[in-house]
Structure 1
Amino acid sequence: MNIDAVLAAGRRAAEQRMRDRIRLYEQAPDVFDREHGTTVPGPQNTWYEGKARIEPIAQASGEDAQAGDREVRLLEYRVSVPWATVLPPGKRAVPGLRIEVLDSPDPRMPGLILWVTGANYGDQATAWRLTTEDRS
């Protein structure tokens, strides 16, 4: 069996394990509305919406961080999407992109927002994997 056939089988198997649905997007900076005295979230630009597999990174112990006036625990997750996922032309996944969990067999996951911290690329991977953190 040649390597291309093995990779194709591995990619099909990886996609079968993708039971979550996500949206990968970039968030424009917030804008201050002087008329109402409020901050309005900037527009969102969706890069990908579809199936994924979300799994906690087991060795990650989490890191305490200060967010405004409260302390948060940063937990890491690996998000796998189909290897053949196409991004907008000229775009690469960079830290700061966000992932919203739209649907999951785990009822606690929908609505979770994850922040992309890195992306792994490779022609012999079975899925495209993003490292993320939960900043809530």
Structure 2
Amino acid sequence: MTALEAALAAGRAEAEALMRDTVTMYRPGPDVFDRVTSNSVPGPPEVTFYSGRARVKPDQLADAEVQAGEREVTLRQYKVSLPFSTDLPAPGERPKPGDVLEVTASPDARLVGLRLWVTGVQYSGTSTAWRIIAEDRS
């Protein structure tokens, strides 16, 4: 093992030690019309990329306010770190903007149920974690 490989292994172990949240990242399926409520509801996920430990933290201190339809929406950006060893569900099946990341458990109860939309994915052979950039569109 080279010095670089040893440093990366130690860094990856430390990054995983900080992962105290649990998330699920998936590609949402097409909406389904509910005839009882006359509303569209999210369909089942088309692809589940990951379900397990993660670190969810705000990426920027400033929020952005934008118009969406006729209402104002505040965008908050987050950086979500997943274990570097995370496998993709199938070769070439990578997360892309528009995929969803949900916080299912966290020591911070305010994060549980948070739904984030993926805006970017970072890949690197020398990273200590797999980093996903996502935003809260509440």
Fold match (TM-score > 0.5): yes
My pick for the range that moved more, 31-40 or 49-58, is 31-40
Corresponding residue pairs, total: 135
Distance 1:35 1:53 in 2: 38
The residue that corresponds to 2:59 in the other structure is 57
- Where does structure 2 lack aligned partners over 5 or more consecutive residues? none
Residue pair 2:49, 2:95 contacting (<8 A) in 1 also: no
- Taking the aligned partners of 1:40 and 1:21, their CA distance within structure 2 comes to 24
* Alignment partner, residue 120 of structure 1: 122
Show the counterpart of 1:84: 85
**Letter matched to residue 57 of structure 1:** D
Once the two structures are TM-superposed, the CA of residue 35 in structure 1 deviates from its matched residue by: 7.5
Q: Which residue of 2 aligns with 1:29?
A: 30
Q: Which residue of 1 aligns with 2:96?
A: 94
Task: Classify the secondary structure of the residue corresponding to 1:91.
Answer: coil
| CA distance, structure 2, for counterparts of residue 132 and residue 2 of structure 1 | 33
- Report the TM-score, using the length of structure 1 for normalisation: 0.91
| Residue of structure 2 in register with 1:103 after alignment | 105
CA shift for structure 1 position 2? 1.3
**Partner amino acid, structure 2, of 1:54:** V
Find the aligned partners of 2:22 and 2:36 in 1 and give their Cα distance: 38
* Residue of structure 2 in register with 1:67 after alignment: 68
TM-score (norm 2): 0.90
